């Protein structure tokens, strides 16, 4: 993934933005893309776990029933 993005970005910077050496910008931006991918995967995982907890929620009166019974 990194090499494809670097190649496309270099081509864009050379031919459309007329920059001579865009590799220094790539050195900064590619790690940001990797971090973004990691964060989005973690967010997607957290969202799927939150759906699991939505299925197992207890009604509000169930807690008062248990507490009232044992107090």
For 9-26, the pLDDT digits (tens) are 888 888 888 887 777 777
* SS3 call for 49: helix
Q: Is the pLDDT of residue 39 over 80?
A: yes
Distance CA 68, CA 13 (A): 69
9 class by beta-carbon count within 10 Å (0-12 exposed, 13-18 middle, 19+ buried):
middle
Note the pLDDT of residue 18: 83
Kindly provide the residue ranges of all beta strands, DSSP E only, lying in 2-42, ordered along the sequence. none
Provide the number of structural domains found in the chain: 1
Q: pTM here? A: 0.44
Residue 71 clears pLDDT 60, i.e. is over it:
no
Residue with tokens 């031919």: 15
Q: Is the pLDDT of residue 48 over 70?
A: yes
64 compared with 43, residue with greater pLDDT: 43
pLDDT of 34 higher than 70: yes
């Amino acid at each position: 993934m990194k090499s494809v993005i670097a190649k496309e970005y270099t081509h864009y910077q050379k031919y459309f933005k007329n920059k001579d050496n865009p590799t220094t910008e790539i050195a900064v931006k590619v790690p940001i893309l990797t971090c973004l991918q990691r964060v989005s995967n973690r967010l997607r995982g957290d969202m799927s776990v939150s759906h699991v907890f939505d299925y197992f929620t207890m009604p509000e009166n169930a807690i008062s029933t248990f507490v009232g019974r044992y107090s």
